[in-house]
Amino acid sequence: MLPDPNLLIVDLRAETLRGAEPLSALLPNPSRAVSLAEIEEGQHGLTPADGPLILICERGVRSTLAARFLRADGLEATAFPGGVPALKKT
């Protein structure tokens, strides 16, 4: 199921993957690129004002971990199950 088009998508993929297949070609949502390392270190720059967050990575593993870290930081964060391949099937 596609996320609400108003929700911010956090793209955890490597820069090469983001460049090869931008999320803007797959979704109308606003998106922001953030690395898992930035999230783990608390250097992600995301705030509750960003609203509920949908995290996406290449396969769904990193986004699940990142969502846990962000929820521990007090943010509303959900991983998109299955990553980009699942997104392309919706």
Per-residue pLDDT reduced to its tens digit, 29-87: 999 999 999 999 999 999 999 999 999 999 999 999 999 999 999 999 999 999 999 99
Residue whose token pair is 């953030």 = 34
Determine which helix (DSSP H) or strand (DSSP E) holds 71, and give its type and residue range: helix 61-72
For the entire predicted model, the pTM comes to 0.92
**Radius of gyration, CA atoms only, the chain:** 12
> What is the phi/psi pair of residue 33, to 5°?
-85, 125
Amino acid at 80: F
CA atoms within 13 A on the CB side of 2: 11
Query: Are the C-beta atoms of residues 34 and 12 closer than 8 Å to each other?
Result: yes
